[in-house]
Amino acid sequence: MMTAHDIFARATIIPVMTVTDIDSAVSLGRVLYKQGYEVLEVTLRTSAAVHAIEELRRQLPNALIGAGTVLNKKDLQLVTTVGAQFAISPGATPDLLKAGREADIPLIPGVATVSEVMQGIEYGYNEFKLFPAAAIGGVKLLKSIDAPLAGVKFCPTGGINESNYKDYLALPNVSCVGGSWII
């Protein structure tokens, strides 16, 4: 099974797609993939998202298509059923962390505090989404927690843009960044 580490290794920037119709999602996915973005995240914020994941998987078989804004076990099961290859959550409840360990696809839980990271580690996670990165300290926070959380890797999202993404990517505990600015 693919792991969160594998996903982080294939991405420097993960475009975050909020789609309103399937045709536009597929067109956008094709453009992004041709530009070198192999890992794409479709947020579960619209009624078109689930079908867009299915269609992107069908039409872009070499891309890694994941579901974002996965909030609970039900969401995780749904996106797994439609072919998502990974799931990303803005947070991490104990039920979601447990469901992620039992899922057939990797879950990348969202964290905003060291305590949340520690809880995730207790469930066997080492890769996390840091959200909302810029609002909670961004680069300064990640620098501060690198030593006490050795071996933990992050994909910061939330406030990442063309003027600051390189600052995040320069950090040893950041594997990739995510955002919609790339779109």
- Active-site residue list: 41, 129
Residue 144: CA count within 13 A, CB half-sphere? 8
**Three-class secondary structure of residue 77 per DSSP:** helix
Q: How many CB atoms lie within 10 A of CB 40?
A: 25
Angle at 110 between CA 128 and CA 174, to 5 degrees: 35
Best CA proximity match to 152, nearest among 104, 179, 114: 114
Do residues 38 and 2 touch, judged by C-beta distance below 8 A?
A: no
Both structure tokens of 151 = 């071996």
Q: What is the DSSP string of 39-70?
A: EEEEESSSTTHHHHHHHHHHH-TTSEEEEE--
CA-based end-to-end distance of the chain: 29
